[in-house]
Amino acid sequence: MSGCGVLINPKSEIRNRFDRGEWLTEVGCYNLFVTEPHAKLAVFPGSFDPFHVGHVAIVERALRIFPQVIVGVLQNTGKDSVFGADERAEMIREHYRDTPAVEVRSFSGLLVNFMQEMDATIIIRGMRAVSDFEYEFQMALMNRRLWPPVETVFLTPKEEVLYLSSRLVREVVALGGDVTGLVPDAVRERLEIWFRETNSPPG
């Protein structure tokens, strides 16, 4: 029995504990799913089209808090993607090939379903500016409504890349600009190939 009067069984799975109502906490108590060992894992979801140094900074900060981070690459059919989800995931894996604490997975559908599959309750989201807040706040509340054990942790990237977005990277590359230093090398190489293929004359 915990000090908050909630039964703790460290061997049980999050899904089973949720079904039994054990995510509930009393006034002044911490969320047990965050303060217990399950919080050793966090999920950083996004479309990452492409993955850039701002994302890298978020992963670095997340690893200071959580021993393992899963980068969840969303198969978003609602967007016109430069790269497919599997190719995006492959590029990110290449960047983290020497970092065993980072795992890369692609997923589709609801994020909370993916969280349950990964047995995770912590969502990592990057917050660049006040303009991001309303959307991120809505998503955090909706995810918690869909699955109460989940918590969202907001992190900020390095100040020098606060302006950076995947959309901006795509636009620069599409106009023939150099994005060296803005994306990992593995991503830059794929972007350069994409630019050559989309701008080569037919024949």
Is there a catalytic annotation at residue 106?
Answer: no
CATH architecture of structural domain 40-199: 3-Layer(aba) Sandwich (3.40)
Cα–Cα nearest to 46, from 122, 117, 123: 123
Instruction: Exactly one of 93, 105, 128, 158 is catalytic; name it.
Output: 128
User: Given phi > 0 = left and psi -120 to 50 = alpha, else beta, which region is 5?
Assistant: left
With H, G, I as helix, E, B as strand and everything else as coil, classify residue 106.
strand
Is there a catalytic annotation at residue 95?
Answer: no
pLDDT of amino acid 16: 64
Instruction: Exactly one of 52, 55, 95, 188 is catalytic; name it.
Output: 55
Instruction: Exactly one of 15, 20, 79, 97 is catalytic; name it.
Output: 79
Domain boundaries of the chain, sorted by first residue: 1-35, 40-199
Out of 1-15, 51-65, 76-90, 184-198, which region has the weakest mean confidence (pLDDT)?
Answer: 1-15
Strand partners, 183: 180
Does residue 11 carry a pLDDT above 70?
no
Is there a catalytic annotation at residue 52?
Answer: no
∠ Cα 143 119 46 (to 5°): 50
Does residue 28 carry a pLDDT above 50?
no
Rounded to whole angstroms, the Cα distance separating 131 from 164 reads: 14
For the entire predicted model, the pTM comes to 0.80
Give the sheet arrangement for strand 151-155, strand by strand.
102-107, 68-74, 41-46, 122-126, 151-155
Return the percentage of the chain with pLDDT > 70, whole number.
Answer: 77
Averaged pLDDT for residues 88-102: 96
Instruction: Exactly one of 166, 170, 188, 190 is catalytic; name it.
Output: 166
pLDDT of amino acid 197: 87
